[in-house]
Amino acid sequence: MNRVVSGIRSTGNLHLGNYFGALRNFIRMQQENECFFFIADYHSLTTHPDHTKLHGNVKSVLAEYLGSGLDPEQSTIYVQSDMPEVAELYLLLNMHAYIGELERTASFKEKIRKHSDNVNAGLLTYPVLMAADILIHRATQVPVGKDQEQHLEMTRKYARRFNNAYGTELFPEPQPYNFGEELIKIPGLDGSGKMGKSEGNGLYLIDTDKDIQKKVMRATTDEGPQAPFSVKSEAIENIFTLLKVVSTPDTVEYFNDKYNDCTIRYGDLKKQLAADIIAHVSPIRERILDIRSNDEYLSKVVKEGGEKARESARQTVKQVRELMGITSI
């Protein structure tokens, strides 16, 4: 059976990028694999979030995981910092991670550009901690969006490097769990780029129907197709990308045809998109709100999940220590 590991940082609420990037088809994923889903609170510290909000954010992501349909009976759901073994593996893997390759990571370069006042060592070694998250359960597959492709590639490199250094096959080289398709990038509706928490363009799982309607109706468009079958601008392409994710193929084809014969009305396109997003999100939101207020249930889930996760982690760390020559006197 494949082992799957997936993580989401606790820097805010889950948006459609997280949902469709990392959790798509999770029902099948949970049934067919041994799954570990965790909340990456250590990772969220790299950007110095308001520490008074961290605990609340961890709880929100947990409720959002559960509201999205992750099932603690089928999967191991835990908080990263409840499993300290990952910090040890991170330290040990750091001995095989080279500064040059870490400095060349796209996400690190982007962080330097955006936050030159906070270029900390945690940011530089972010991919090593992510590799530790994955390798600690000896995962074979990782569901991620397109933005995490390079981090996953680095995880494979560290797995290979470790195996070669110690003459072992301990770590599998984890592949993207890509649902049989390309890794996905959910765009924002502000004309360019991806949907993200720090981009301020998120459509969130806890948004009300009205919020969604408003955000979608405000989506950036252009002056309309100027000739039959003209190439779509990025803003329009982004709307169609979202439509493909939430709507039926017939609906997509209908609006595509309208675009191609220049009869499309962007207002109608947005109304349809908003309605189809709401159909996805509103039952999830109701479940999230329900679960969010049940502290007892939330604690029980992560307590049991944490214990299961630690059991799996301990076995790996024990072997890594032995392979690296760390044994008790």
Show which residues are catalytic: 111, 194, 197
Nearer CB in complex with ligand TYM: 61/264: 61
Give the span between the Cα atoms of 201 and 16, in whole angstroms: 11
Strands (E), the chain: 3-9, 34-40, 76-79, 141-142, 175-176
Q: Compute how many other C-beta atoms are within 10 angstroms of the C-beta atom of residue 274.
A: 20
Q: Give me the residues that bind ligand TYM (CB under 6 A), please.
A: 5-9, 17-18, 21-22, 40, 43, 130, 133-134, 142, 144-145, 147-148, 151, 184-186, 194-196
- Degrees, nearest 5: CA angle 74-179-8: 60
Strand, helix or coil for residue 204: strand
Report the nearest approach of ligand TYM to the CB of residue 320 (Å). Answer: 17
- Within 8 A by CB and 6+ apart from 295, the residues are none
Report the nearest approach of ligand TYM to the CB of residue 7 (Å). Answer: 3
Report the nearest approach of ligand TYM to the CB of residue 138 (Å). Answer: 13
Strand, helix or coil for residue 141: strand
Report the nearest approach of ligand TYM to the CB of residue 122 (Å). Answer: 12
| Helices H / strands E in the chain, number of each | 15, 5
Q: Determine contact, residues 6/134, Cβ cutoff 8 Å.
A: no
Nearer CB in complex with ligand TYM: 212/264: 212
Nearer CB in complex with ligand TYM: 72/145: 145
Report the Cα–Cα distance between both ends of the chain, in Å, rounded.
37
Give the span between the Cα atoms of 21 and 15, in whole angstroms: 10
Report the nearest approach of ligand TYM to the CB of residue 73 (Å). Answer: 22
Report the nearest approach of ligand TYM to the CB of residue 103 (Å). Answer: 18
Quote the longest CA-to-CA distance of the chain.
Answer: 78
Nearer CB in complex with ligand TYM: 130/291: 130
Report the nearest approach of ligand TYM to the CB of residue 78 (Å). Answer: 12
Nearer CB in complex with ligand TYM: 186/320: 186
Q: What number of residues does the chain have? A: 329
- Fill in the amino acid letter for 324: M
Residue spans of alpha helices (H) in the chain? 16-22, 26-32, 41-44, 51-68, 85-94, 99-103, 106-114, 121-124, 126-135, 149-166, 209-217, 234-246, 249-260, 266-292, 295-323
- Token pair for residue 157? 């490199």
Nearer CB in complex with ligand TYM: 114/265: 114
Give the span between the Cα atoms of 205 and 220, in whole angstroms: 21
In which region does residue 194 sit, left (phi positive, over 0), alpha (psi from -120 to 50) or beta (all else)? beta
Nearer CB in complex with ligand TYM: 18/75: 18
